[in-house]
Amino acid sequence: MYQLKSEYEPQGDQPKAIEDLVKGIDNNDRFQTLLGVTGSGKTYTMANIIAKTGRPALIMSPNKILAVQLYYEFKEFFPDNRVEFFISYYDYYQPEAYVPTRDIYIEKNADINDVLVKMRLSTLKSILTRRDVIVVSSVSAIYASGNPRDFQRINLYLRAGKRYPRRQILEKLGKMLYTRKEDDFSGGTFRWKGEVLEIYPPYEDFGIRVLFFDDEVESIESFDLYNRTPIEEFDKITIYPAKEFVTSEEKIQNAMSNIEEDLQRQIEFFKSRGKLLEAQRIEQRTRQDMEFLETMGYCKGIENYSRYFDDRKPGDSPWSLLDYFEDDFITFIDESHIAVPQIGGMFKGDYARKKNLVDFGFRLPSALDNRPLRFDEFLEKIKQTIFVSATPGNFEMEVSDQVVEQIIRPTGLIDPEVVVRKTEGQIDEFVSELNTVVKRGERALAVVLTKKDAEMLSDHLNLMGIKSQYLHSELDTIERSEVVKKLRNGEIDVVVGINLLREGLDIPEVSLIAIMDADREGFLRSETTLIQTIGRAARNVNGKVILFADRVTEAMKKSIEETNRRREIQMQFNKDNNITPKTIIKKLPDDVFAPFKSEMDEEDYVFAVGEGMKPEDYYYFLEEEMYKAASELRYEDAANYRDEMQKIKNQHNLKV
């Protein structure tokens, strides 16, 4: 079913890893782990498993940059099959929120990216109509989506030679949320002139032209949107809804009585506790939404009423992308040591924000059911799963029926040499090493602890004549990708950052990594983080990592031991097979982020909230987000909020 195309064949320990994991799937193993070192070809291994098992596949990535890279790689591996992309469709997203400590209500504000909407709709259609489908997704896969039965059932089916009353087709297109327009040929519209119906599905790159004779369909063809020339003729066709969330008029009417019932219950609840303001607020806001629903079939924030449309009970699991797949699909969770905790924390953060809206009368309790999946719900829906990471977490190791190691790199590259040096004079030592690296035409990374350290070290290196640039959370997704591109192209020699793991760095040109203050224990110097960071230098034959520290912590000891264990296996394999290691050569795609140029990471939304807010209100909003992140063990996010608070305080001389 799948046609895997590659100029390479599985090498090293890839064949055994593929064989063992496929055998595990055939034996109905629920969970497996692929422990693959950086540069060992984990993506190619996943592609081979998909091709050999012949099942639909979902590949989840912990961030969008990695998701984009995976999407392009799988498109190259499977050009004749359906490879789809499913991430958040917002260019800008400011969620609805209420900060009770300052009595600040923040209205939802979002800009939707039409390209990403199209890709999401294409994903849903492909899953429902094909078996040879591979979906690369971010954590958007666990967020509430439309009911798959509604999306599949509410469609327009046309066949050449059959008769269809015109009114019936018009009503059907309206229910599918298509808009009739005579001069706008964008996705989600249609026009009917004389005997010709033209439909512009938002999930396709072409239009559909249906020629009638009276009520009978004479012919159906696809056509080019620009030249308007025919592409292909069909005997029959199915047109799917124009939007992800679609429901029937009957369901809307049924929902109205349930909304009214819950509204009365919530009003009584507030009044019985003397909360008259909240009672008035919830009645006014909900009745306004109900009026829009009755007259327009839609209202702002309609997703907060999704439980009523889906006939779900309070607390029931929402529909998500996972519900569109058949039961035998395979899930790959890439960089699982990051993705698994991330998936587990999504529900808590969403619940905390919405509970304030419910408690203070801005939303009915049904808003709590428009949510991402809880971790237990996610595990129930994903069926057979393969975790993929160089450093799997405790959860993956505990639940896996088998852990398959992929230590050997096809290029023969071994893990980098790791040395420990004293912190005294660490900058001078790093500069000396850098000069050697630059002379070889290679690049370097420096890992520090704070944004200020990153900026200061970068400035110092530039003064020393070494082209440097810092990289941290104040740069948006696209700016970060541009820094990476400059490093690969040789416009800069070194990137200085705090946590360079989240960037999805895949830079064969990097041969030196310096980790400053490696003995400062914590999240950024944990065993997992150190092993992942060390792996960044494993794509270059001259790879070397320097840990600047005055003592060897337990995390340093374990990461060095694990790196040396892998080095021994790799060197023995090279010796046994007479392999000479070669640096990976990898072309950087031209403008890989073009479709997502103004896209914004979900974790960055909170910093956009400050636009249009009073500085002191923004400060307290950030403070609440900081405490929430800390309570959910998202310490890096908490530190980002803390830094933003300090910046606002200094900029506006706040007395807080």
Is residue 38 part of an annotated ligand binding site?
A: yes
Is residue 53 part of an annotated ligand binding site?
A: no
In DSSP terms, 236 is beta-bridged to 159
Is residue 40 part of an annotated ligand binding site?
A: yes
Strand segments (E) across 468-570 = 468-471, 494-497, 510-515, 544-548
End-to-end CA distance of the chain: 63
Burial class (CB in 10 A: 0-12, 13-18, 19+), 361: buried
* Residue in 109, 65, 69 with CA at minimum distance from that of residue 91: 109
**Angle, CA 435 vertex, CA 431 and CA 438 arms, to 5°:** 130
Encode 57-91 in three state secondary structure.
EEEECCCHHHHHHHHHHHHHHCCCCEEEEECCCEE
* Residue in 27, 60, 21 with CA at minimum distance from that of residue 322: 60
Strand segments (E) across 457-571 = 468-471, 494-497, 510-515, 544-548
How far apart (Å, rounded) are the C-alpha atoms in residues 11 and 334?
21
In DSSP terms, 230 is beta-bridged to 223
* Residue in 446, 450, 455 with CA at minimum distance from that of residue 426: 446
Is residue 306 part of an annotated ligand binding site?
A: no
Starting at the edge strand found earlier in the chain, the sheet holding 207-213 runs 179-180, 189-193, 196-200, 207-213, 216-223, 230-234
* Residue in 141, 116, 92, 113 with CA at minimum distance from that of residue 602: 92
How far apart (Å, rounded) are the C-alpha atoms in residues 19 and 34?
12
- Phi, then psi, of 293 in degrees rounded to 5: -65, -40
Is residue 39 part of an annotated ligand binding site?
A: yes
Number of alpha carbons in the 13 Å side-chain half-sphere of residue 30: 10
| Sign of the four-CA dihedral 134, 138, 144, 145 | negative
Query: How far from the centroid of its chain's Cα atoms is residue 446's Cα?
Result: 26
SS3 479: helix
Is residue 43 part of an annotated ligand binding site?
A: yes
How far apart (Å, rounded) are the C-alpha atoms in residues 176 and 9?
46
SS3 331: strand
Both tokens assigned to 427 = 């900058």
Q: Residue ranges for the binding site?
A: 36-43
Q: Residue ranges for the binding site for ATP?
A: 36-43
